[in-house]
Amino acid sequence: MINTKIRMEIIEEMKPLMLFKGMWNVQGKNLPGAPIDANQPLHGTQNVTILGNNFLVAHWNYKFVDNEHFGISIIGTDNDSSQPKLHLFDNGGSYRAYDLKIEGNLWTITGETERSTMVFDKEGNTYKEHWEIKLDGKWNPLCERYGTKETVTNKENTI
């Protein structure tokens, strides 16, 4: 169904997601279960902005020793559901969809073949993220990432 109403303020379901808005410096490593660049360190950035008042858009770029992984993620709710969703598109040609459950500063991200927990500190300035991948019906460690938010002054950080 096409939405004929334009939301002029951030809806209640989106307010917990605002914790993620901003520019993040990201460090971490791929773990043994990673199908590409296993056991390699990574570093990069993630810039999370607001699209209107309904969605967050994350542009991310992670560099490994010999490789690069970049793309966009779109996070939000639709008019028919208050359950947040995460949609990811990357330079490998992949598209993945996840359910997102938020309990305070703990985010649980669940997809068919990948899942993650993401824990923010109380101020929303750092996060720790642990991903797993399902291979041959079994969950395996995929990667760990740690984000630190850059301090941005006089910038709205919206699209």
Amino acid at 89: F
Distance CA 13, CA 15 (A): 6
Task: Tokens for 21, please give them.
Answer: 């808005």
Name the pLDDT band for 152 (thresholds 50, 70, 90). Answer: low
Query: How many residues can be counted in the chain?
Result: 159
Q: For residue 41, is pLDDT > 70?
A: yes
**CA 121 to chain centroid:** 16
pTM of the model as a whole? 0.84
Q: Which pLDDT score, from 0 to 100, does residue 15 have?
A: 78
CATH class of 16-149: mainly beta
- In the chain, domain spans: 16-149
Distance CA 103, CA 75 (A): 16
Name the pLDDT band for 154 (thresholds 50, 70, 90). Answer: very low
Q: For residue 79, is pLDDT > 70?
A: no
Q: For residue 150, is pLDDT > 70?
A: yes
pLDDT in tens, 81-111: 678 899 999 999 999 999 999 998 999 999 9
> How confident is the model over 9-38, as a mean pLDDT?
86
